[in-house]
Structure 1
Amino acid sequence: MQVSGETSVVEVPAGTGRAVRVTAGDRVRLIDPQGGQVGDVFAFTDVEHHSASHTRAATSRLFPAIGEHFMTQRRRPILTLVEDTSPGFHDMLIAACDPERYAALGATGHRSCAENLREALAAVEHGYSGPTPQPINVFMRIPVQQDGRLQWLAAATAPGDSITLEAVMDCLVVVSACPQDIVGINAGSLSPLVIEVSPP
């Protein structure tokens, strides 16, 4: 972790995950330095975690708008979307990639966001051991067609695009620079993401 003034900076190497602890009011800026890279984002307290389904129920959207909250499984706000300099494509429909997904794609042993989450939680000694929550898939482009089908399109972010979340409660934020290089959601080769945490 690097600290610049009061802002801490954590690089998430391509295909891996990192966790940062944040305090209510902190701003978490997720940056795509090279462009075209999807990130899976998770948020945990000691007893709650972000829930995509509860968020959709609260906002009546597939993804929150600026100023709206991401909710936990207890229907409480944990993060707020406060800024987005990217083209605005994000997803909360698709599950985190996992070993079973890659096995089905013929790539047994491939890194996954689910394993990145477990490694990041273990690195900070967080005790969550339940099922992998459905992530906030930032920069991921999965448009819904009129017939209900989903398209899997490459991320449209340009170098330096970012999305900023504000912590509503003290929590642990985990970011995985998604290692998916078989289904074309990442544009070009895999690349890192950067987490910037700034106090209020």
Structure 2
Amino acid sequence: MSDLHVVPACHGRAVHLSKGQAIQIINTHGQQVVDTWCFNAHDMSEFMSMEHLHATLQGIFPAKFDGLTTNRRRPILIMEEDTSPGRHDTVIAACDVHRYAALGCTQYHNNCTDNLHAALAQIDRRATDCPAPLNLWMNIPVGPDGKITWGEPLSKPGDHVILRAMIDCIVVMSACPQDLIPINGAACKPTEVHYRLLD
């Protein structure tokens, strides 16, 4: 088990996982959404894909022991453990400058799309686009009419997930900067999260 590392509030981090290795992502304060991506370490054109995951799960909420599927329809990660109530979003795209402009921002706002690219650049990698992320702990209830609600997280301080690599891969995490709607809790205050690598 490695040391504990931080993903600062409103920023991102990228880490390499070898096949069989795992990452524990910890919702330190309990209310923070973590946009999460995963790429094949040897071919960045293969990545964890929410659209393909929906077909695999025949649903939209991944749970313990589920394989998280790539755009080539094979599991890249396994959700090995989840101590939260298990509500994670697979529907909503990563926030970006256009999202914040639509919400009324007139100046630059940190966002998960830019965090993805910045985190990858820190390890000398590049993605040509921003795939839809697995939004850990993001609570987006879907009604019978198909309408969604921007809910507050159901997770508690210290809740965590463990994701185990099925192939050599790169996991990217963004402590979502959203502070205009309550997806990071009623206070609309993004916080840091922590992670550690596991054998």
Measure the CA separation in 2 of the matches of 1:172 and 1:195. 14
CA-to-aligned-CA distance 1:24-49 (integer Å, 9 cap, x gap): 11121110111111000000113211
The one of 82, 99, 102 aligned to 2:80: 82
Output the amino acid matched with 1:120: A
Aligned to 2:16: 21
Q: CA deviation at 1:127?
A: 2.7
Measure the CA separation in 2 of the matches of 1:120 and 1:193. 15
Residue identity over aligned pairs, in percent, reads 42
Aligned to 1:194: 194
SS at match of 2:64: coil
Output the amino acid matched with 1:196: R
Aligned to 1:55: 53
Structure-to-structure mapping, 1:1-200, within 5 angstroms: 6-45=1-40, 46-47=42-43, 48-107=46-105, 108-129=107-128, 131-187=129-185, 188=187, 189-199=189-199
Measure the CA separation in 1 of the matches of 2:2 and 2:194. 12
- TM-score scaled by structure 1? 0.93
Measure the CA separation in 1 of the matches of 2:163 and 2:139. 19
SS at match of 1:91: coil
SS at match of 1:120: helix
Q: CA deviation at 1:154?
A: 1.1
- Displaced runs of 4+ in structure 1, greater than 2 A? none
Output the amino acid matched with 2:151: L
Q: CA deviation at 1:183?
A: 1.5
Measure the CA separation in 2 of the matches of 1:127 and 1:111. 19
* Unaligned segments of structure 1, at least 5 residues: 1-5
Measure the CA separation in 2 of the matches of 1:8 and 1:56. 34
Measure the CA separation in 2 of the matches of 1:185 and 1:177. 12
User: Contact 2:5/2:196 (CA < 8 Å) preserved in 1?
Assistant: yes
Measure the CA separation in 2 of the matches of 1:126 and 1:10. 20
Query: How many corresponding residue pairs?
Result: 193
Output the amino acid matched with 2:122: A
Output the amino acid matched with 2:19: A
* Unaligned segments of structure 2, at least 5 residues: none
Measure the CA separation in 2 of the matches of 1:90 and 1:11. 21
SS at match of 1:185: helix
